[in-house]
Structure formats: structure tokens, C-alpha cells
């Protein structure tokens, strides 16, 4: 694991759009790593985190009890604004860990999806750019949004919190350029890196750390284990012995799709996905923070198709986990609003 994960800590209240110069460089010739890195250097949003405080703060309790409600969801672009707001509003967690959320993408209405979700529900947020999209998205989105353009072209991960977030950081989990060099026609050509975004919060006078993580799907289990090592090294450099909750899409596709087989290996899946051994060796647990169900679902267009396994997880350290749930990501009419279900857990100390 020679790659040295980089920590991003600079905060800004708003990203600038993807510079045209970055796009010109990226598309000017063969998709090499040098071309990727030259284009990346033209985009300052990769070196910053977009940050906003909550508009109003909840009242802290100091009665000797501590209960933290955490929600985690791969929102698949956050395309569906009102249903997504209703979905999160029905749970109203203290903290929401979000992956795959857009800023200024035609496929999601060229909206700032994170801000539009956070503000009406009185959340602050921190957002880390994962990829700058050079096109409209995947083959379905290219067809659906033909003739449109992205205002920003950003896709990333975020933490929403009812409490102020401090000491925010993002960590790059790979060397980048995988979705640029290995581009195929009809695919998502993009520059950037898989990442995780983290922050410290003080909730009811208790300090804790929260992290939203997105591991690579075009990867082997061993590569995901390397990403887990990079993530843990980064969070331990910040958190020390304070409690930590990590949630996100870990793309653990080597796990069985058969429900009985998934239940049998649930408490120790490390033979199939060695990242679980990495988390366990660092003191993290997952058995009580997750249900034993798949976390993917079919979208209204009929994709992806089952069978599914569990690829979204919580990992906790320094907490006791209770009341884990896997929540169907559907609107009021039962239609999918993401190809991932959401996770919820209650944490106590």
C-alpha cells in the first residue's frame, strides 16, 4: 500500500463550477494519468470542502444520557428532491451520512442537491467532491438528458448534521483516474478519487467523529481492504480515542446474494471481504449496527436486477449500537428514489 492518502481540510462556503480549462485538458487527447492529473490541477474544488452551519441549533441535554440517531444512504445523485426530503424528514436523525450526491448535474436538475436537502430540515453540512463529471453520466442518463449541460458537474459525499461540524476533513482512498483511464463509450468519464468525508461534533456534550465513506465498485476485495486501511489511518490520526461512527457504500460485492448464506457469514465476512478484518483489528464492530439484509433495490427503469447482497454498512467504535434498521428508499407511491436502501442506527455510550 505505497499510495499515501491525502487529507483535505480547507473549508469554503461555496464551490466554483468546474473550470472549462479542466474539461478542455481532459478531453484533448488520450486518457492518460498525466492528462487526468493536469485536468485535476485546474479544479480547486478538489482541494476544499464545502461547509455550512445549521441555521438553528438543537438544545443540548446534560442529564447523563446519550443517544445518537445516525442515518446513512447512497442517494444515487439525489435526483428526487421532494421525495428525498420527505424520506429524511421522516427519520430526522442527528447525523446523516450521504454518498453519491450531485451539485450542478443535469441528471439531478442542475440543483445543489445537498443544500436543498439540508436547509429546510435545519441541517448544516460538509461536502467533499469525489468526481468531476466530464459528461452527463451513465448510458441511461446520457440518453435521458441528451442536449443538456452540467452547470457544475460535481458528484461527491456529504455529512448532514443538526449540530455544528468541526475539524472537517476528506481523505482520498485511491490513486484516482480509474474512471478516466478505463473509460468506455457510454460510461461515466470523470476525473477524481474515491473518498470519505469526516468531521467531529459535540452532541449533548459528548465529542464524537462521523464519517461518510464510498469505496470503489470496480475493485477487488483486496483493494477494498486497502481503502479501509487508508480510511482508518486517516480517522485515527484525527480522532484518537474518541467514539467513531462510519457509514457508507462499501461495495462489498463478494458477499453472497443468498439470504441464508449472508446470515451465516454476517458476523465474520472477512474470508470473502478482508476489509472486515481490517475494521475489526482497528476495534470497529458492525454486528449490532446493521441488519442482515441486502441494501440494493431495482429502480423504476428495471435496473439493476436482483439478486442483491449487502453493500452498505455502519462500523462503530466506542459506541453501543441498538435498533439497526434497513429502510426502503421509496417515495409515497412506492417508487424507488435510489438503487440503495438507507440505514439507520441508534448509538449510546
Domains and CATH numbers, the chain: 7-348 (3.60.10.10)
- Given this model, what pLDDT does residue 1 score? 43
CB atoms within 10 A of CB 10: 12
Q: Are 226 and 76 in contact (CB under 8 A)?
A: no
Q: Are 263 and 310 in contact (CB under 8 A)?
A: no
- Given this model, what pLDDT does residue 3 score? 59
3-state secondary structure of 156: strand
- Given this model, what pLDDT does residue 63 score? 67
Q: Please give the DSSP secondary-structure letter assigned to residue 182.
A: T
- Given this model, what pLDDT does residue 174 score? 95
Q: Are 300 and 336 in contact (CB under 8 A)?
A: yes
- Given this model, what pLDDT does residue 204 score? 86
Q: CA–CA separation, 321 vs 263, rounded Å?
A: 18
Q: Which of 291, 295, 209, 192 is nearest to 244 (CA)?
A: 209
3-state secondary structure of 143: helix
Residue 160: strand pairing partners: 96, 125
Question: pTM for this structure?
Answer: 0.97
What does the angle CA 18 – CA 23 – CA 29 come to, to the nearest 5 degrees?
A: 160
Q: Please give the DSSP secondary-structure letter assigned to residue 215.
A: -
CB-based contacts of 74, cutoff 8 Å, min separation 6: 98, 99, 100, 214, 248, 249, 312, 338, 339, 340
CB atoms within 10 A of CB 51: 17
CB-based contacts of 138, cutoff 8 Å, min separation 6: 186, 187, 188
| Blockwise average pLDDT, block size 10, the chain, 349 residues | 77 97 94 96 98 91 82 98 98 98 98 98 98 94 96 98 98 95 76 98 94 97 98 97 98 98 98 99 99 97 96 98 98 98 97
Amino acid at each position: 500500500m505505497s499510495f499515501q492518502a491525502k487529507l483535505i481540510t480547507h473549508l469554503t462556503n461555496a464551490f466554483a463550477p468546474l473550470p472549462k480549462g479542466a474539461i478542455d485538458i481532459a478531453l484533448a487527447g488520450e486518457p492518460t494519468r498525466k492528462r487526468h492529473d493536469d485536468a485535476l490541477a485546474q479544479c480547486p474544488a478538489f482541494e476544499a470542502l464545502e461547509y455550512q452551519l445549521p441555521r438553528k441549533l438543537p438544545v443540548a441535554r446534560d442529564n447523563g444520557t446519550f443517544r445518537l440517531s445516525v442515518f446513512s444512504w447512497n442517494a444515487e445523485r439525489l435526483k428526487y428532491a421532494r421525495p428525498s426530503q420527505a424520506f429524511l424528514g421522516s427519520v430526522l436523525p442527528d447525523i446523516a451520512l450521504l454518498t453519491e450526491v450531485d451539485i450542478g448535474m443535469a441528471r439531478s436538475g442542475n440543483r445543489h442537491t445537498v443544500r436543498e436537502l439540508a436547509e429546510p430540515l435545519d441541517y448544516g453540512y460538509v461536502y467533499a467532491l469525489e468526481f468531476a463529471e466530464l459528461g452527463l453520466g451513465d448510458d441511461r442518463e446520457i440518453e435521458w438528458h441528451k442536449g443538456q449541460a452540467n452547470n457544475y458537474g460535481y458528484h461527491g459525499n456529504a455529512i448532514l448534521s443538526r449540530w455544528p461540524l468541526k475539524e472537517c476533513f476528506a481523505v482520498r482512498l485511491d490513486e484516482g483516474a480509474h474512471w478516466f483511464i478505463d473509460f468506455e463509450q457510454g460510461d461515466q468519464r470523470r476525473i477524481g478519487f474515491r473518498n470519505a468525508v469526516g468531521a467531529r461534533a459535540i452532541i449533548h456534550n459528548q465529542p464524537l467523529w462521523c464519517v461518510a465513506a464510498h469505496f470503489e465498485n470496480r475493485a477487488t476485495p483486496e483493494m477494498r481492504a486497502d481503502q479501509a486501511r487508508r480510511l482508518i489511518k486517516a480517522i485515527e490520526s484525527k480522532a484518537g480515542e474518541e467514539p467513531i461512527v462510519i457509514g457508507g457504500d462499501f461495495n462489498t460485492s463478494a458477499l453472497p446474494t443468498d439470504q441464508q448464506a449472508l446470515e451465516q457469514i454476517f458476523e465474520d465476512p472477512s474470508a470473502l471481504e478482508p476489509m472486515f478484518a481490517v475494521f475489526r483489528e482497528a476495534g470497529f464492530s458492525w454486528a449490532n449496527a446493521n441488519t442482515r439484509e441486502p441494501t440494493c433495490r431495482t429502480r423504476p427503469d428495471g435496473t439493476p436486477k436482483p439478486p442483491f447482497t449487502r453493500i452498505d454498512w455502519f462500523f462503530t467504535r466506542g459506541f453501543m449500537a441498538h435498533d439497526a434498521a434497513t429502510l426502503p428508499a421509496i417515495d409515497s407511491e412506492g417508487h424507488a428514489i435510489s438503487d440503495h436502501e438507507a440505514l439507520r442506527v441508534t448509538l449510546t455510550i
